Structure 1
Amino acid sequence: MRNALIRYRVMAYVVGVLLIVLVCVGLPLKYIWHNDSVVNVTGVAHGWLYMILIITAIDLGRRARWSIWRLLAIALAGTVPFVTFIAEHSATKDVKAKLAWNAEHPTEPEAVIADPQA
């Protein structure tokens, strides 16, 4: 789960920074000064990397056993500037708590239960 968290965090930061550049730099350049070069580059990059963010979030969510609602919230966070970082912080806090709990409570080998019909 640790490696999945690292992959998710990297993608969350990259997508979050690209979205901020797109919204705070690219859109004013496009609509005020009629220069859409930043929008063309960062918009495409954000779109493709957002899909990778979704994949890493699903992978992490599956390992951390998140609900579908939490995954949807994380997916939507990648579309609102600055919210990606809040979602990443929340996800990291949750996963680190689960990792700490798992370290304190290692699973014991399950007893083999004989099948009465076998």
Structure 2
Amino acid sequence: MTETPQPVANPDTVRSALTFFRVAAIVAGLAMFVLIAEMILKYGLDNDVLAWWSPVHGLIFMVFVAAVVNLGFKVGWSLGRMVGLMLLSCIPLVAFVIERRTVAEVEPLIAADARR
């Protein structure tokens, strides 16, 4: 039996929060690859050409955290779920998987409100 998605309180704010989340997740996922390259260069090849990237990546990740919290509060996620998403996104490639699954979950909530 398939559950009917519950409509969200304000679909326009959820839609904008979802867009912000999508962009942040994709940028954070790409930034992870640059961080990995920076670490390989620094520790494997003794080259500090990308030494400036680590703080930039930290800032990008903080924006991602803000996007998760913003979307999470608007769709009613638990704090544990939000923290879980943040922790899972520290694994390379997982930010892209999280983005796709979150979009697949939240878009029907927005559409359910349009049908009301």
Length-normalised TM-score, structure 1? 0.80
- Corresponding residue for 2:24? 11
Provide the rounded CA distance (Å) in 1 between the counterparts of 2:31 and 2:53. Answer: 6
Could you give the per-residue CA deviations for residues 58-107 of structure 1, whole angstroms, max 9, x where no partner exists?
Answer: 11011111122221121113311111111111111111011122222x2x
Answering whether residue 39 of structure 2 is matched by residue 27 of structure 1, we say yes
Structure 2 segments unaligned to the other structure (5+ residues): 1-13
Alignment match, 1:68:
79
Q: Aligned pair 1:48/2:56, yes or no? A: no
Question: Which of structures 1 and 2 has the bigger CA Rg?
Answer: 1
Percent of aligned pairs with the same amino acid: 30
* Structure of greater relative contact order (alpha carbons < 8 Å, 6+ residues apart): 2
- C-alpha RMSD of the superposition: 1.2
Q: How many aligned residue pairs are there?
A: 103
Give the 4+ runs in structure 1 shifted more than 4 A.
Answer: none
Counterpart AA for 1:82? L
Following superposition, the deviation at residue 43 of structure 1 comes to 1.2
- Read off the aligned partner of 1:29 and give its amino acid letter: L
Structure 1: tracts of 5 or more residues without a match: 107-118
Q: In 1, are the aligned partners of 2:31 and 2:60 still within 8 Å (CA)? A: no
What TM-score, normalized to structure 2? 0.81
Q: Following the alignment from structure 1 to structure 2, what is the Cα–Cα distance between the partners of residues 90 and 73?
A: 14
